[in-house]
Chain A
Amino acid sequence: MSEAVSDASVGPREGKYRAPILSSSLRYWLSKVGLFLLTLWAAVTLNFILPRLMPGSPADAAIAKLSQSGPVSAATKHAIEAQLGVPSGNIWQQYIEYLHQVVTLNFGVSYTFFPESVESLVMRALPYTITLVGITTIVAFIVGTLLGASAAWRRGTWRDTVPTLTGSFLSTFPYFWVALLLLFFLGYVAHLFPTSGAYAPTVEPNLSFSFFGDAIYHAILPAVTLFVTSLGGWILGMRNAMINTLGDDYITFAEANGLKGRTVALRYAARNAILPNLTGFGLALGGVVGGSILVEQVFGYPGVGYLLFNAVINQDFPLMQALFLMITLSVLVANFLVDILYGILDPRTHR
């Protein structure tokens, strides 16, 4: 993935030879950093342009909502516009102001959860999402990659067909469907797990063991959902990459040299085949911050995804803009780090 993003897969095989001005390695890193900064700017700007391209404005939406319950006076309208910080001035001034907001991380006040600031809402949701989605992503990556490697190595046996078929089956399951089924059968019917929230309503969040126990208990069903639905991608990714690697001559050569099967599988094949999966893993880690909107919505889990869902449903534009920016930037940064790592792990990319 990232070799795509980085344009590195092309490599030096293509193109005519040009006398290097800088060493090719330095040029590689400089172009990486340049591209990252450019993408960063574009993503920030996209977040600025998007709402302005769309019909209507947040204030219009708010006023439309209010006018359902009665006529809206001009004074109220003005107050709403002021409260929502409806931009004044020309587009350039707005843009400068927006950039200033982004740099100072000041996203104003949430409209749904007035008078809470966007920042405090995000900060409250982040720990839940990062713990839940982060741990699940790591575990799914490790288990899936190992299963994929063993599937490719034992190709054609049950150790291949079972994980591959289950994996491809599971990865086509809609997240929210798996979530709903687990919630219904294990939560509502069997009463084994709580049906909503990150902790029991009677408990206040604190640092005691009992609270952590309760929080883990509440996180099990969402975690199982995320694990089950993301496992397949890792299995298939690793399996396909490793099948390609196993067809290479150096594997045949290693086998011909009489190396042990395990050595060939792990140190020769898996080590090279893991690169694409590793890129995917880096990106998935970047995506952790965004949480999982569908799963968090089903379980009413108070993470970032659920916050975004609430912002969307209530047309809370300041919150939505801040969340979208945060989610985009974290993926972007993760992608950049993966690119760097990829360049180190696979020096061919910038030879």
Chain B
Amino acid sequence: MSSKSPPAPLDYLRRWPLRLWIAGVAFFLYAPLVTLIAFSFNESRRNIVWTGFTFDWYAQVFQDDALIEAFVNSLTIAAISTVISVILGALVAVAMWRFRFPGKPVFEGLLALPIVVPEICMGVAMLVFFSRILPWPSDLPWPLDLGAITIAHVSFSFPFVAVIVRARLLSFNRELEEAAKDLGASEWRAFMDVLVPHMRPALVAGALLAFTLSLDDFVITFFTSGPDTVTFPVKVYSMVRFSVTPEVNAASTLLILITVVLTAIGLRMQGKDIARAEGGA
């Protein structure tokens, strides 16, 4: 007998049918992605038979100015919309948490709308808005020409940030703020010195979510982008429409890499942040 005991009744993970099931699910989720990554290094254009290792497709990606531009656009939009979303999301979360005001339940419902409304509906609404009400000039210098897309991204991102920050605020001990005021801090100082540090992990998580949502969005961007303001997903979409090419594989692999790195950074920062906020203080 080995020193391992048989599984306890709720150790579902140690039962083979469930292990098999999880392995199957993991295969289902990852096999297409792994295949995609593998064939971004394949010499053959036809993609299915492995003919040899190459970086050619990556070289092609880096020489494709349109793709690079789309990529830079995506990152720029994500960065700007993240900053605005975090500010707006944090403000509204604090306002909702702190104050009682007439019509609050209605406002709460409206704030949840961007989260639940189907993307396609929001996309067409933005299309109409930016072509009829607030036509966004297309000849503005970069990055101002990305304004319409950025605004649309903020609109669907900041309510998500608000949800995360509000959840965090629930665990705030109001006596801390009262103590700060008792010790002479002004409203503003108390906010910055006590409340903001408490919100920090949520702000980081919210920023990460906003960034990913923006980078990930295809549908809404598809309806707000013009011919000169193409983002990475929109560009890849137009490439995919035509054919499956190793170049798209290479570009996608780069995006997956960015996702993995961002996730890793996010998990690290959040882990440290929470440790610092809860344990260190």
Are A and B genuine complex partners? no
